[in-house]
Amino acid sequence: MAADPPYSRIRHAGPVAVTAGILGGRDGDLVTGGTAAELDQALSNLRSLLGGEDLLLRDVVRLVVYLVDIDDVDVLNEAFVRWFDEPRPARTTVAVAALPGGAHVEIDATVDARHG
């Protein structure tokens, strides 16, 4: 996992902000524990990224989730309920063959940035 990628981690376009893909990494390495642990860490990383922009998880209007194993959708649903209050963001889930660094999950978000 690159510490300084050659792209913006978050980019504002008027009242909207979009994030780059976010993995379940901490201190430069993926967390252990598979999809559930990586997903919790990715959402924690999203929360931190948004916090740096004076935004909150409740400002997320759409989340795209990339899963290496589509059978992990139940794990995703459980995390979604834990991390997001109603009204929850819209979500697209995409099954992929592989993710960077051997990750099991990656997320990206579209955010209502009018509050930030």
Which pLDDT value is given to residue 2? 53
Tell whether 96 is covered by a domain.
yes
Confidence of residue 4 (pLDDT cuts 50, 70, 90): confident
Question: How far does the chain reach from its first CA to its final CA, in angstroms?
Answer: 28
**Averaged pLDDT for residues 1-15:** 86
> Residue 11: is its pLDDT beyond 90?
yes
63 part of a folded domain: yes
Q: What is the pLDDT of residue 115?
A: 78
17-64 pLDDT per residue, tens: 999 999 999 998 999 999 999 999 999 999 999 999 999 999 999 999
Judge whether 1 lies within some domain.
no
Dihedral, 28, 31, 34, 37 alpha carbons, nearest 10 = -130
The chain-wide mean pLDDT, for the chain, equals: 96
Residue 48 lies in a domain: yes
Provide the domain count of the chain.
1
Q: What is the largest CA-CA distance in the chain?
A: 38
Q: Which domain holds residue 44?
A: 10-112
- CATH classification at residue 22: 3.30.1330.40
pTM: 0.94
